[in-house]
Amino acid sequence: MLDAGFLDEVRALMNRGDLHPDLPSMRCVGYRQAWAYLSGDDEYDAFVSKGVAATRQLAKRQLTWLRKWSDVDWLDSEEKDIAGAALKKIILRTTFNSEI
């Protein structure tokens, strides 16, 4: 994200004038940490560390939430043909759960 210009994006949002760090949109993972860095509240290394930690915490909460769903189809993100694997799972589920 940083290589793709994330800090420039947050800098542009800050320059709009109608946004502030207490808004829900600016409290999202990454934006909060970038805003603090660009405001001079954090050093670059602290910004990166806090962003990584916040991302990890969010992913952990999402996994906890998803594990409670009994009908979730898990996909391997490293699978070469992930789209094909997803379609196979959908076809199998609809084929074996049909009410015909």
The tens digit of pLDDT for each residue in 58-92 reads: 999 999 998 898 877 788 888 899 899 888 888 87
State the DSSP code for 20: -
Token pair listed for 91:
């076809």
Q: Which amino acid is at 86?
A: A
Q: What is the pLDDT of residue 96?
A: 61
Q: Quick one: angle between helices 44-67 and 31-38, nearest 10?
A: 170
Token pair listed for 41:
């509240």
Alpha-carbon 100 to chain mean position: 39
**Whether the predicted pLDDT of 98 surpasses 80:** no
Domain extent listing, the chain: 1-69, 70-100
Please say whether the structural domain 1-69 has been given the CATH code 1.10.287.890: yes
